[in-house]
Amino acid sequence: MSEYGLSILFSIKRYLDAAANDSEGYQRAVRLLIQGAALHAPEFETSEYVNFREQSARILKDLVESASPDAAVAAAGAMNHATAEYNRRLLQGFRMQQTYLHEIIRLLSATISELAETGQSSARQLQEVERQIERACYVEDFQKARASLSESLRAIREEFQAQREKSVLSLNQCQRQLKEQTGFSTVEIHPGLPDERTGLPARAEAEDAIRQAMAQRQQAYLAVVTMERYAAISQRYGYTIADTALVFLANHLASRLAANDRFFSWGEATVVAVLDRAHPEDTVKRELKQALSERLETTIHIQNRDVLLPVHAAWLLVPLWNQPSPEHVIGRVGMFLAGGADAKL
């Protein structure tokens, strides 16, 4: 309770004393002020807020049990002290929040600087946001910091998109050289296609291909291949390396399966292929198993050294001509990716 509030209480006391010392009316006013201060206190830390409300309730209870004007003055003083202490902790909490925001931006800046050479300009932008948060005192200051952070993150996305496209072009060049030297076909990457990570047609096109194959009642299979340890590789080496390994897996499949098989991206670490086969299911399973049973390893360049990265996969084969509906097939894929793998290599 502020000094202004106390002055009002003393004015009320003098008025009531002059008007026949109406202590009941005076106590009622004090109770209302205590209840109002407790009711409208801003909630910050739950434990602090609950403690303040309980302290206010105890002060109010002591006031109700005593009917003297002196008890009302004592209750007003106790409430004033409790409010001042709560406000002090509230301000301390806001400053801690500001410190945490400052640390978050510092960590973002450090991470962006380490991820790529082109991240330097983005790191500088984040450092400016960090300084804005450090100086922020009012809502308008945080609004400006938020706008600056949004712009910085947009620039970061553009920088990494440019890096990814550069990596895609380099991979395409390597794949063309591999095809010229070995004769193996590969899944060529197209930066403009919906799935930016792999360059393959996205899941929506895969679902359309499933529906088309089932509508034509052709003897076709859906091969679902998911790369294991994708999350672990991404966490250790970055998403670019994990995506490169996934493209390597797709290229390996394309080199071992028929040239007219259609490949699609499906989710974070999964590729699917629609296989036109007139063979029995067991024969196609053997074909897929043989393609994935080889020792799969790809070389990645990390911190000026080459690292041999093993690539493992789990797979599922679904005959499309005898399924009740495309939705059923899509559901089976979802169950498989959720953990019910039919095969694991």
Confidence band (pLDDT; 50, 70, 90) for 200? confident
Q: Measured between alpha carbons, how far is 145 from 148 in angstroms, rounded to an integer?
A: 5
Residue 228 in contact with residue 314, Cβ under 8 Å? yes
Provide the pLDDT for residue 307.
Answer: 78
Q: What is the mean pLDDT of residues 165-189?
A: 55
Top pLDDT among 137 and 108 is at 108
Chain segment 273-289, per-residue pLDDT in tens: 999 988 899 999 999 99
Top pLDDT among 73 and 10 is at 73
Confidence band (pLDDT; 50, 70, 90) for 211? very high
Chain segment 6-31, per-residue pLDDT in tens: 565 556 556 555 544 556 666 777 77
Angle between helices 139-182 and 239-256 (to 10 degrees): 30
CA distances from 83 to 31, 44, 60, 94 (A): 15, 14, 14, 16
> In this predicted structure, which of 39-43, 187-191, 224-228, 290-294 has the lowest mean pLDDT?
187-191
Q: Is the pLDDT of residue 185 over 60?
A: no
Q: Is the pLDDT of residue 193 over 50?
A: no
> In this predicted structure, which of 28-37, 51-60, 202-211, 328-337 has the lowest mean pLDDT?
28-37
Q: What is the mean pLDDT of residues 28-36?
A: 77
Q: Measured between alpha carbons, how far is 143 from 137 in angstroms, rounded to an integer?
A: 11
Provide the pLDDT for residue 188.
Answer: 47
Give me the phi and psi of 297, to 5 degrees please: -145, 145
248: Cβ contacts below 8 Å, ≥ 6 apart: 296, 298, 311
Q: Measured between alpha carbons, how far is 62 from 33 in angstroms, rounded to an integer?
A: 15
Q: What token pair was written down for 102?
A: 């400052």
Chain segment 79-95, per-residue pLDDT in tens: 888 888 888 888 887 77
Q: Which of 2-6, 57-61, 316-320 has the highest mean pLDDT?
A: 316-320
Element (H, E) at 334: helix 326-337
Q: What is the mean pLDDT of the chain?
A: 75
Chain segment 290-325, per-residue pLDDT in tens: 988 888 888 877 777 777 888 999 999 999 988 999
Element (H, E) at 276: strand 270-276
Sign, CA dihedral 164-166-169-173, equals negative
Confidence band (pLDDT; 50, 70, 90) for 344? very low
Q: Is the pLDDT of residue 180 over 60?
A: no
